[in-house]
């Protein structure tokens, strides 16, 4: 490989790293704008509900700026099968989260976890078992350990 080809490859890697960094910074700005829209009348937390999202936005912006100024070597573009699996997983996650009030947390977590396991190479029956175990684990963690409200699903438990 000639020196000019090596330099072109390094410049391409730096350019793609900077594009990724700019996207991170854009997400940080969007998160900060969204956080500024949070309204609350009273909070027992002395910092309020905006502290964590603002901190996350600042850290995201810092990481994006660092990556922009110090771009690393870019990874090769994923193979089409990996890209397709990632897009399917994103779609299943978006659909499950969008339907969570209707299908309930357990069902949504099961579909997301089982789909992820299958897409990452688990056999179908193993993916179902992994999905069920993950759904129960996350339900117990959020419902009982953290005391979080989780929807039961109006389609499964109407009324």
Q: Residues 66-82: pLDDT tens digits?
A: 989 988 776 677 788 88
CB within 8 A of 138, min separation 6: which ones?
Answer: 105, 109, 113
Domain range for 47: 3-69
Written as six digits, the tokens of 85 are 């699996």
- Using the 3D structure, point to which of 69, 88, 118 is the last residue of a domain: 69
Cα Rg, the chain, nearest whole Å: 21
> Do 89 and 40 belong to one domain?
no
Do 11 and 65 belong to one domain?
yes
Q: Which of 49, 69, 89 is where one domain is finished?
A: 69
pLDDT above 50 (res 40): yes
Domain co-membership, 11 together with 58: yes
State the pTM of this model.
0.58
27 with 50, same domain: the answer is yes
Number of domains making up the chain:
2
- Give the Cα separation of 108 and 95 in Å (integer): 9
Within-domain flag for 132:
yes
Lowest-pLDDT choice from 44-48, 69-73, 149-153: 44-48
pLDDT, mean of residues 29-57: 80
Shared-domain flag, residues 49 and 96:
no
């Amino acid at each position: 490989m000639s020196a000019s080809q090596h330099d072109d490859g390094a410049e391409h890697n730096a350019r793609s790293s900077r594009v990724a960094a700019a996207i991170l910074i854009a997400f940080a700005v969007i998160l900060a704008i969204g956080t500024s829209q949070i309204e609350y009348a009273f909070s027992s937390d002395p910092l309020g509900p905006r502290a964590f999202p603002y901190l996350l936005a600042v850290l995201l912006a810092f990481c994006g700026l660092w990556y922009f100024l110090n771009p690393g070597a870019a990874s090769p573009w994923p193979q089409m099968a990996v890209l397709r699996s990632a897009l399917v997983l994103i779609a299943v996650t978006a659909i499950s989260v969008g339907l969570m009030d209707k299908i309930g947390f357990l069902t949504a977590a099961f579909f997301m976890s089982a789909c992820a396991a299958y897409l990452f190479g688990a056999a179908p029956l193993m993916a179902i078992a992994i999905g069920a175990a993950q759904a129960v684990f996350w339900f117990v963690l959020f419902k009982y350990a953290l005391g979080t409200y989780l929807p039961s699903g109006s389609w499964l438990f109407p009324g």
